[in-house]
A and B are shown apart, each in its own frame.
Chain A
């Protein structure tokens, strides 16, 4: 095992590890907590819950977000739900089953101890959220309702209409604003973190740019927590919000935090296909639709009848045909890849032939339009608003889109990165989901990290720094970082080329989508690895960044983010090339069964790949994964 990558997994049986660890960690007593300053970057579910909880515990917390309000973080957009092992439905769920499903769903590429802890704290999240007033769906008797999600065989998903993320985030945000009012948390909005500051090898602060005034500022603390979300926007088009970016994580990576499994990305099967090349983002249609919708394409590539006129014998319900046991409910990666296959065969639907049908007519016949409306009304409305087509009358058109990134900053069991004092939580870290994330598990992980794990594990680190002041912002470590940010700003503002930042971002996105998307091959990845640096060179030579640095300047903001995406894209492709196996969301054409299904290679790849930044290229470190409580099996959904 790589000695630098010590995951610090506690001793003892799986079920006792977290309890044992909590007992053995150093504690900071309440009176001493207020002597500590902690920086949290990000106010999504992970950041807001962590900052609120640490504020309640008595730490002084500074919170940063580039949004104008903490409530806008992209967690707000999550639709489907959040998992927990409550077993309220009495259908045989348990902590072990949620643990097992998550490990298996992640295709045996995650850490047992972390995932077990996640399942353990999942129940407390629901209690906390309900107490905060999150209006979860309820039964007539007043108890909480659940649904099954993403192929799970139990009903463990809690939801709030199609707005679970918004309601959970409002809960965490209100807890956060309560601490702001109490004075324990200081809120910095429109403030973008552009550098992590290190001294003597540990994180001591950050440098930010005020997006409204352009002021570059230094902030110091005893510890820094990144809760800055995922990097799906490396593909340009994704279900993520326009502003989502990888800069915070990437800047940390360049300061020594290892980046783990960058090639593990999740392509979500049910999104609205793009309508033209100016499409700015892709809209997710909740996966729950697959419970009642049937996916099909015409058998004949030259079919031109409207969907309703195509008789059953001319339709190919390809998922039901290939996977009789799971049918339309196969996991996301399987559903996505099969949709790509039929579209590549020329059997796609819609004007651009870039989608497949998701058809509700059978369910409407069986259950009535009212039931379907009750279940999916707001999604149908959203679909109609975007496409001008009525899904009660004609089938929806859907196609896969980049959605979630399992890769992220490497963290140990304490959620600490390889830089002491620098922690990463939520989608920004790599933990828990292995090579593929189950539906409704990201909200759970973000809130588990923020409410129930980090606020305690960070104490173990902070205890060693009792009675020390944070490094002053007049220290040379800060002046160097401030200088770097100002220099980069100057550099971008001097770019007087001919193309917009977005143009380069779109082109980069196409390369990554084509070669490091749903299907990866050595040949394609090598091609990408020559195209990306070439495009990057063009980017630095020909991009145009107008305006000045002392006011809102969206081109300037985007230039820095896209520059970081370029570097990240290259690392993703390198990692995808190195991992010559198919696992979870990572499908290598060289590694498949005779029937074309993903083939894992446990002998050679049962490890986390964590990359260390180097000016002349990354160094790969491996964390071997050990499974003591589950047996590795090949997934089969036939």
Chain B
């Protein structure tokens, strides 16, 4: 099969970017979308040009590295699927496909289809952990966790940190990502001691870099792990409570 790519190129953060068109023929349906991009890049290089820079690593939907907006949708048309797991059989022969980078104020451009997602790590550094030094943990079975609680925490923990939710959001908000991280830990008994401190710190870090949430819900549709927006409601509830609880804690320690 053959496809025509309308693809974003931008030599660097400050440089102007624009679309370039490339025909890619001789593609087979079994190929993944990124393998098709590999072929295009091979041909560009063999023809004396420079490859289009994009990122991917595991190519099995778990590392969160790949990040393309395909025909306007982060990770492309297949629901619950990361870019690297998308296959050419989902496109028709002769299709014209637009490929763009994640676009969001919180993700500064680096080159072509690569952006900087470091602020997601900043949110985790702000409080996305349980403070337990190595070696100081009690026996794992001393703290039983109800299966239903463990399962829900897991649903949140499944986030692969790709940032599609941010790219999909008209406001460039990172609420789904942050909520997934908060919920994972705030649901578990191990996470209770730092529950309100955590949510306050993470939400406030998030607000520094990313937009606000106005309940569009496009994040959930774009999310390759289908993380539920219910976690955002939970985060908001905990955040409101944190304002009250953290203050009270302060007065207690004073």
Contact = CB atoms under 8 A, between A and B. Distances in A.
Contacts of B157: 133, 135, 167, 170
Given A126-B140, A499-B46, A138 B150 contact: yes
Contacts of A142: 144-147, 150
B137 A189 contact: no
A117 interface: no
B133 A133 contact: no
B178 to A, nearest CB: 14
A467 interface: no
A410 B111 CA distance: 39
Interface string A533-553: 000000000001011000111
Interface centre among B46, B134, B135 (most CB of A within 10 A): B134
B30 A275 contact: yes
Interface residues of A, number: 82
B154 interface: yes
B135 A554 contact: no
A153 interface: no
Contacts of B145: 138, 142
Contacts of B76: none
B165 interface: no
A170 B180 CA distance: 13
Contacts, number: 220
A405 interface: no
B185 A133 contact: yes
Given A128-B135, A546-B45, A546-B49, A163 B130 contact: no
Contact of A128 (B116, B134, B153): B134
B32 interface: yes
B59 A281 contact: yes
A160 interface: yes
Interface string A268-282: 000000011011110
Contacts of A544: 45-46
Nearest to B65: A72
Contacts of A144: 140-141
Contact of B63 (A76, A502, A547): A76
Contacts of B151: 135
Contact of B147 (A70, A132, A139, A284): A139
Interface string B57-77: 111111111000000000000
A385 B87 contact: yes
B129 A175 contact: yes
A68 B55 contact: yes
A177 B191 contact: no
A161 interface: yes
Interface in A485-516: 498-500, 502-503
A124 B49 CA distance: 53
| Chain B binding surface, main DSSP class | loop
Interface in B33-58: 34-35, 38-39, 41-42, 45-46, 48-51, 53, 55-58
B154 A242 contact: no
Contacts of B158: 163, 166
A49 interface: yes
B28 interface: yes
Contacts of B30: 275-276, 388
Interface in B121-154: 121, 124-126, 128-141, 143-147, 150-151, 153-154
Contact of B118 (A53, A68, A141, A452): A68
A312 interface: no
A417 B215 CA distance: 54
B60 A77 contact: yes
A71 B128 CA distance: 13
Contacts of A502: 38, 42
A463 B224 CA distance: 48
A130 B140 contact: yes
B163 to A, nearest CB: 10
A128 B132 contact: yes
Contact of B190 (A71, A132, A503): A132
Contact of A127 (B12, B32, B137): B137
Interface string A250-285: 000000000000000000000000011011110110
Given A69-B64, A242-B58, 5 more contacts: A72-B63, A130-B190, A133-B157, A137-B150, A174-B130
29 contacts: A67-B57, A67-B65, A71-B161, A72-B161, A74-B57, A74-B63, A77-B58, A77-B60, A127-B137, A127-B138, A132-B130, A132-B137, A133-B188, A141-B144, A142-B146, A163-B62, A166-B160, A177-B125, A180-B125, A187-B121, A189-B121, A242-B56, A243-B57, A275-B28, A281-B59, A502-B42, A503-B42, A552-B114, A553-B53
Interface of B: 11-12, 28, 30-32, 34-35, 38-39, 41-42, 45-46, 48-51, 53, 55-65, 81, 85, 87, 89, 110-112, 114, 116-118, 120-121, 124-126, 128-141, 143-147, 150-151, 153-154, 157-158, 160-161, 184-185, 188, 190-191
Which 6 A/B pairs are nearest by Cβ-Cβ distance?
Answer: A142-B144, A131-B137, A174-B129, A130-B140, A275-B30, A127-B137
Interface of A: 49, 52-53, 56, 67-72, 74, 76-77, 86, 88, 124, 126-133, 135-144, 160-161, 163, 165-167, 170, 173-175, 177-178, 180-181, 187, 189, 212, 241-243, 275-276, 278-281, 283-284, 382, 385-386, 388, 451-452, 455, 498-500, 502-503, 544, 546-547, 551-555
